[in-house]
Structure 1
Amino acid sequence: MNSAASYYLGRVEVNPLEHTLVCDEVSISLQPKFIELLCYLAEQQPELLTRQQIIDHVWDGNSYVGEKALTNAIWHLRKAFKELDSEQEYIETVRKSGYRLLVEPVYNEPSSQIFLQISSRQLLWFSLIFCALLALTLGWYFWPTPQEKVYQSPELITQYPGRELFPSISNDGRYLVYSWRQMDRQVDLYRKDLFQPDLKHTKLTHTPGSESRSVWAHDDSKLFYYRRIGSRCEVVGVNLNDFHITKVGECASNAPSDVAVSPDGKLLAYIGVDPENPIRGVYLKKLDSEQPAKRIRCNNCEPGESEAVTFGPKGRRLAISRNLNHGNEDIFIYDLQSQTEQRVVTGLPDIRGLAWQPNSEKIVFSTVMHGNRHGYELDLQTNEQVNLNVEGFSYPAFDVNGNLYYHDWKIDTSIMRLELDSDVAASPFPLIQSEFNFRFPDYSEAAEKLAFISNESGFDEIWVAGLDGTERRQLTQLQFHAHNPVWSLDGKKIAFTANNGQESRLYVLDVLTSQLTQVNSELNYYGKARWSQDNKALYSVSSGDVYRIDIASGATRRITNGSHAVEIAHNQLIVYKRGSGFWQVNLNGEVVDEALLIEDLALANSTGWHVTNEGIYYFKVRGYDYRLSFYDFNNKQDKDVLRVPERAFSRSRGMSFVPSKQWLLFTGYESPQVDIKRMRKDFN
């Protein structure tokens, strides 16, 4: 096929040279890459092409760019075809497989052109062969040996029902320890013999708590890990000979944690808290001393909540990931001797684990980008960052030989509905579901539309749809991370938060005019926003305080401390304060009156609740026990509405209510199956 020649797909003419699609004198211009993708699909029609095949051909195998660009290109092609010929489906998406062109291309090329084309191709091939032979001859002694892949393809290590999480490998390479989360069962640590993989794994912990995030002692005689029992979180060590347990320190019960042991086995590092400092930081414990752990000091550290930690090869440095005040999570290298740190990775929305490659200057980390998890390797000497091209890559760990383990987290999200007034007990039902992720639902009775976040275009953008899931429409094209869409009370505007990799932002979108306005204020971070009753202001949380932000001027007013706030009447708010419950807050001019409304319900997430006229729906999580619950304003009692399997809903990705149908909407996980995989290192 001549890639420059035009051809027809049904009624639509494709002109590769002009990058256009034409039908009935209507022409749509597209980006060259979109046309190149379409031509490749046409060349291979009717074959099903995998995403990787397309990325290799169109984006030269650059998965970092291609993953998002492919999804974006398919979306734009579909949109263009729909505008030109709405009755014909042109591109088929095969879930978890790839894409196929459904319409056979028709080429109209003169025979002389074909002859010339073939002749020129033959000449080109002869030239290429000659040049290749010449290059081989001249460069035999000078051409460098091509570098092989660093890691082999992933291989499955565990495959049990439920989720196997947070791999940790013994220093002799024989045992793998992980946290196994089964449906409706306690979370415990299990050990698998990698030298005898057919043997059944053994249970290591037998307490009422939930155990996870383990690390081995240098001589493999002990295991250090986190244990959560109720509202308590402890860092403990267990002797694997007599299973005696010793408490090492304290940690946050409702936030991520991590543990690491230095290469010489003398130091334990963990993410913890103490009575004088509730902000998560890194603590060091000398394992040959009875002295308690001490929080590391830092002369130039940027404040924030630490989440992950790992030792460098000689134990003199730490790699630390930290959530910063503006909403990003960055990676720092901390020097234990100078007590200073250097930022090496910045602008990531969320990091899910990091590990330092043995005897090297490279770290590997996982990050969540537009609803999916990906792995990257960073060379600390060259600052070169390489995409590992492994989707689902989470919480990496190395063995002493440099083989890389991780848990494979690929769980799709959908918008779910629960019918509250059904005569027969109902289970959640998918409202919007496809190969893409849908999150953060918010319904407007006035607009009769559902707003949500989707990565259908390749980026987390704002979308709207009808309650039946049809008439889906993308409203933003920011091409970075949007979150928490919330309708104004009149159904005309949507407020949402976003992060461009540098800062937290607050936006207001006029749905009718598509005008997008950034709300500029003195705050450097914006939590999920809620509208005032007059639609002129927004309530948002920054650094543990609730603020009222005037949309027009950006002027802010601190109201009270808290985690999330909803204005239920003019100048009357319900504020959730973690640790003390729900409060009613009345604004009387400059005076703020507060009264305890509901004692702490121990919410699963500070934004995981929705106020109605009758009460408050909220997410309740107790270990593996996941429930949707309701607090009744009249009888001042709370009751469970529905118990669901573990991870059936997302605690932090939105809850909404549809009064006319008595539906509760939330973000649901489709298939909570997670396994541990290994990528063997190819060379040292």
Structure 2
Amino acid sequence: MKDKNKLSFCLGRCRIDPSDNSISFQTLGDEPHQNESAKISLQPKFIEVLSYLALRYPEVVTRDELIDKVWEGNVYVGTKALTNAIWHLRQQLSPFAQESGVIETVRKTGYRLLLPPIYDTFDDGEEQRQTTEAKLQHATKRMRVMAIVMGVITFICALVMGVHLYQDKLRMMDTQLTVLTRDPGSERYPQLSHDRRWLVYGASRPGLTSSLYLKDFKRADLPARQLTPSSSSELRAVWSLDDTALFFASRSHATGKCTITQLTLATNEMRALAPCSSDMTAIDISPDGQYLAYISAHESEKMGGIYRLSLKSTEATAERLSCDTRCNYEDRDLAYSPDGRWLAIARRFSNISEDIFIRDLASAHEKRLTQGLEDIRGLSWTPDSQALVFATEDSGSSNGFTLDINTAQIRSLDVEGMSYPSSVSAEGELVYHQYHRQFQMAYFSLGDKVPGSLFPLLYSGVSHRNPDYSPEAKRIVFVSSETGYNEIWTSDINGQKLEQLTQLKSRVAYPRWSPDGSRIAFIAPDDRNEGNRIFILDLTNKNITALASSYHNHGRPSWNWQGTAVLASTADGITEFYLDNRAPRVISSLSMAVGFAKSATELVFSRDGENGLWQINLTQPEHVEQLISTDAFRAGNNWVLTASGVYFKSSNGHEQLLNYWEASSQQVTSLLRVPRSSLSGFGSMTYIPEANRLVMTLDGFPQRDIILLKHKLLK
């Protein structure tokens, strides 16, 4: 008998066929020849969800049950995939939807099919015959198995008892956390020596530069020793195989030059080996000690990628292993497997999507293990080279996971705040740095007689960021993690009268009001949870549509002066996307971080990876002028254009400044001085003319500590 869950069925005039994962709509005309079916193919998982809802009609099916049946209990993948499946099914079934819809969401429970399914008929007699035969076969087989089992019953009992005792021991082993550092400041990127005697990590002390520190792992009472000088910055190191040397990226404060460096611990001698681009460069050493692999973007026109440097010769130069030019991804982290076969890679496809690959070092063949993660924070291997341990930040929350490289199964460690796990032992131990980051929105009142400070706009225990104000709507739009997901919300100018505008349960980012206050542009993951798309939320009907684009990644959106198009940075440069779904048009090959329309023909923008503020003529894009010099303007994303000038953030040593550039005099005035890292480099700034007030994203100096974790899933 055919499984009923795989039978074709009808919902009204819509026919669902699981055999080819299709749905077809019967269009009725006046004549018989006008009755035609339009067949549409859907993803298999979408059909499985719909078939299971039909099987359980008219009952409510919980989300957990659907994830268990369709995604085999993989909560990590199934949670977001189910929401995506329901959304797509509602879209495809909309031609025959009744007033209340076809699939009902039962709040805090699950989903229910509202139309009765009519299944294709099947032969009950044949079913009974097959059932009888199956029972006879089962009885015969059972007798044979029992005869065999009787002969080995003692051995099996002993084996089962041993397995249960071992599993009970694992279940009884609680997760153990031991704090290894409690110093003021921020400790991160821990690495234990191979003999597990010494711990090296990077730390940023208040008022000091970032340096590497060495601590006796067995002696918690002894203070850590600073290894690198204050004239340079270092944060992330890896041990040589014999634990006599460290390799790391070092950036000189005097020259700004970054080099991969070797430090011999016995003599404190430092030797430059190769160029790099950041003192936070991910770095690892091959298990045979012959190669260093690290991430860098030091070569012109090249994204962050993997470089491999031979340690066998002092004259060796690093070779690039990643894509060279016009890549649709950027490599951001890596780790060699202990058996030397694999290189694990964290790869970013867009500014809100990142995933894990493993590369066979012998064949260079790559295998993808995850789909649709947000921000990967560290990769490490288990000693048997069969699983990865990694951490992610998703909607402002960090956690750790294990990943089986053969089955791609992900299991949560349930360790909140885990970042950059490393040095996994056979006993189930590792070290990581605990990281809690919370973005807040704050306002600064301009023109007060008494100098003011930054005041919180919203008092909450969740993250709020990327504000943008509309004088027409008289509302602030921003991203909030109030629901556990980054969604779009609005408030009045005082942070009150909150309203949630999206329920995508996804990763929305960078909302911007249209000039008339009727629409909001933002970016969110694409259907594959790999790249991103530009979406438009129409507030008149609450519809969300994606703008036509063939690009994989889009930068922060900004509107043109008329509100008829959205400008964003792509692989080709500043690109204009149209609301009527015309093909996008490349304006300029220059990149854009943040842009504001100054008039119908003028766009003021900052550039990715380059200081200074610029203005381009949209009708004559070859005409580009610099408004603020590269020495004065280093805001990146944190600035806003007003009718009379520009407010922007700048860094000055160990502090940040809030500045104002007056367009008429072209003079820069500092308005406020705040501690370093107070204003987020990934945030945004907006101006409220009615209140003469700036609203911006706050990011307090994060407290990080090194933690030792012992966990049953790591054994």
Tell me the TM-score normalised to structure 2 length: 0.73
Letter in 1 for 2:613: F
* Structure 1 residues 387 and 621: alpha-carbon distance in aligned structure 2, compared to 1, 3 A threshold: farther
Q: Secondary structure in 1 aligned to 2:541?
A: coil
Kept after mapping to 1: 8 A contact 2:354/2:376: yes
* Structure 1 residues 603 and 268: alpha-carbon distance in aligned structure 2, compared to 1, 3 A threshold: farther
* Corresponding position: 1:628 with 2:658: yes
CA distance in 2, matches of 1:262, 1:607: 38
Partner of 1:581: 612
CA distance in 2, matches of 1:681, 1:262: 26
* Structure 1 residues 463 and 298: alpha-carbon distance in aligned structure 2, compared to 1, 3 A threshold: closer
Deviation at 1:411, TM superposition (A): 2.2
CA distance in 2, matches of 1:315, 1:630: 54
* Structure 1 residues 612 and 601: alpha-carbon distance in aligned structure 2, compared to 1, 3 A threshold: farther
Partner of 1:443: 469
Deviation at 1:430, TM superposition (A): 0.8
Partner of 1:482: 508
Deviation at 1:334, TM superposition (A): 1.6
Count residues with an aligned counterpart: 561
CA distance in 2, matches of 1:509, 1:256: 37
Letter in 2 for 1:594: V
Partner of 2:315: 291
* Structure 1 residues 604 and 194: alpha-carbon distance in aligned structure 2, compared to 1, 3 A threshold: farther
Kept after mapping to 2: 8 A contact 1:528/1:607: no
* Structure 1 residues 151 and 596: alpha-carbon distance in aligned structure 2, compared to 1, 3 A threshold: farther
1:163 to 166, 182, 186: 186
Q: Secondary structure in 2 aligned to 1:183?
A: coil
Kept after mapping to 1: 8 A contact 2:611/2:635: no
What stretches of structure 1 move > 4 A for 4+ residues in a row? 30-34, 61-69, 138-141, 298-303, 399-402, 601-605, 681-684
The 5 Å alignment of 1:321-340 reads 321-324=346-349, 328-340=353-365
Deviation at 1:263, TM superposition (A): 2.1
Partner of 1:462: 488
Partner of 1:8: none
Partner of 1:430: 456
2:518 to 492, 497, 504: 492
* Structure 1 residues 457 and 327: alpha-carbon distance in aligned structure 2, compared to 1, 3 A threshold: closer
Partner of 1:233: 258
Partner of 2:403: 378
Letter in 2 for 1:280: G
CA distance in 2, matches of 1:418, 1:274: 38
* Structure 1 residues 405 and 490: alpha-carbon distance in aligned structure 2, compared to 1, 3 A threshold: same
CA distance in 2, matches of 1:219, 1:377: 28
Partner of 2:537: 509
* Structure 1 residues 193 and 142: alpha-carbon distance in aligned structure 2, compared to 1, 3 A threshold: closer
* Structure 1 residues 635 and 292: alpha-carbon distance in aligned structure 2, compared to 1, 3 A threshold: farther
Deviation at 1:338, TM superposition (A): 1.6
Partner of 1:643: 673
Q: Deviation string for 1:565-606 (max 9, x for gaps)?
A: 321111111132333632221133x66422232232486663
CA distance in 2, matches of 1:177, 1:201: 9
Kept after mapping to 2: 8 A contact 1:300/1:340: no
| Greater alpha carbon shift after TM alignment, 221-230 vs 449-458 | 221-230
Deviation at 1:453, TM superposition (A): 0.8
* Corresponding position: 1:562 with 2:591: yes
Deviation at 1:442, TM superposition (A): 1.0
- Unaligned stretches of 5+ residues in structure 1: 1-29, 35-60, 70-137
CA distance in 2, matches of 1:268, 1:337: 16
CA distance in 2, matches of 1:270, 1:435: 37
* Structure 1 residues 68 and 468: alpha-carbon distance in aligned structure 2, compared to 1, 3 A threshold: farther
Partner of 1:58: none
Q: Secondary structure in 1 aligned to 2:372?
A: strand
* Structure 1 residues 415 and 345: alpha-carbon distance in aligned structure 2, compared to 1, 3 A threshold: same
Q: Deviation string for 1:409-465 (max 9, x for gaps)?
A: 112221111223233332211101212211111111221111111111221111011
CA distance in 1, matches of 2:78, 2:431: 25
Partner of 2:227: 204
* Corresponding position: 1:551 with 2:579: yes
| Greater alpha carbon shift after TM alignment, 395-404 vs 528-537 | 395-404
* CA RMSD after TM alignment: 3.1
CA distance in 1, matches of 2:339, 2:635: 39
CA distance in 1, matches of 2:461, 2:696: 18
Partner of 1:679: 709
CA distance in 2, matches of 1:603, 1:357: 46
Kept after mapping to 1: 8 A contact 2:349/2:553: no
CA distance in 2, matches of 1:376, 1:459: 19
Partner of 2:340: 315
CA distance in 2, matches of 1:258, 1:675: 19
CA distance in 2, matches of 1:569, 1:279: 33
Tell me the TM-score normalised to structure 1 length: 0.76
Partner of 2:441: 415
Partner of 1:37: none
Partner of 1:74: none
Kept after mapping to 1: 8 A contact 2:381/2:424: no
Letter in 2 for 1:233: C
CA distance in 1, matches of 2:582, 2:360: 40
Partner of 2:41: none
Partner of 1:122: none
| Greater alpha carbon shift after TM alignment, 628-637 vs 306-315 | 628-637
CA distance in 2, matches of 1:620, 1:628: 7
CA distance in 1, matches of 2:340, 2:632: 39
CA distance in 1, matches of 2:634, 2:358: 32
* Structure 1 residues 525 and 602: alpha-carbon distance in aligned structure 2, compared to 1, 3 A threshold: farther
* Corresponding position: 1:362 with 2:387: yes
* Structure 1 residues 223 and 621: alpha-carbon distance in aligned structure 2, compared to 1, 3 A threshold: farther
* Structure 1 residues 141 and 185: alpha-carbon distance in aligned structure 2, compared to 1, 3 A threshold: closer
Deviation at 1:277, TM superposition (A): 5.5
The 5 Å alignment of 1:380-395 reads 380-395=405-420
Kept after mapping to 2: 8 A contact 1:68/1:458: no
| Greater alpha carbon shift after TM alignment, 276-285 vs 295-304 | 295-304
* Corresponding position: 1:668 with 2:698: yes
* Structure 1 residues 344 and 33: alpha-carbon distance in aligned structure 2, compared to 1, 3 A threshold: closer
CA distance in 2, matches of 1:452, 1:31: 34
* Corresponding position: 1:178 with 2:178: no
| Greater alpha carbon shift after TM alignment, 161-170 vs 242-251 | 242-251
CA distance in 2, matches of 1:497, 1:298: 27
Kept after mapping to 2: 8 A contact 1:167/1:406: yes
Partner of 1:531: 559
Deviation at 1:631, TM superposition (A): 2.8
* Corresponding position: 1:268 with 2:296: no
Partner of 1:343: 368
Which structure features the higher share of strand residues? 1
* Structure 1 residues 280 and 661: alpha-carbon distance in aligned structure 2, compared to 1, 3 A threshold: same
Whichever of the two has the greater Rg, that structure is 2
CA distance in 2, matches of 1:426, 1:450: 22
Greater relative contact order, per chain length (Cα 8 Å cut-off, separation 6+): 1
Q: Secondary structure in 2 aligned to 1:347?
A: coil
Kept after mapping to 2: 8 A contact 1:171/1:400: no
Identity score, percent: 31
| Greater alpha carbon shift after TM alignment, 563-572 vs 525-534 | 563-572
Partner of 2:686: 656
Kept after mapping to 1: 8 A contact 2:292/2:309: yes
CA distance in 2, matches of 1:283, 1:509: 42
Q: Deviation string for 1:595-638 (max 9, x for gaps)?
A: 23223248666322211223222232366433333333233333
Letter in 1 for 2:258: C
CA distance in 1, matches of 2:423, 2:416: 18
* Structure 1 residues 160 and 260: alpha-carbon distance in aligned structure 2, compared to 1, 3 A threshold: same
Kept after mapping to 2: 8 A contact 1:173/1:400: no
Deviation at 1:469, TM superposition (A): 1.7
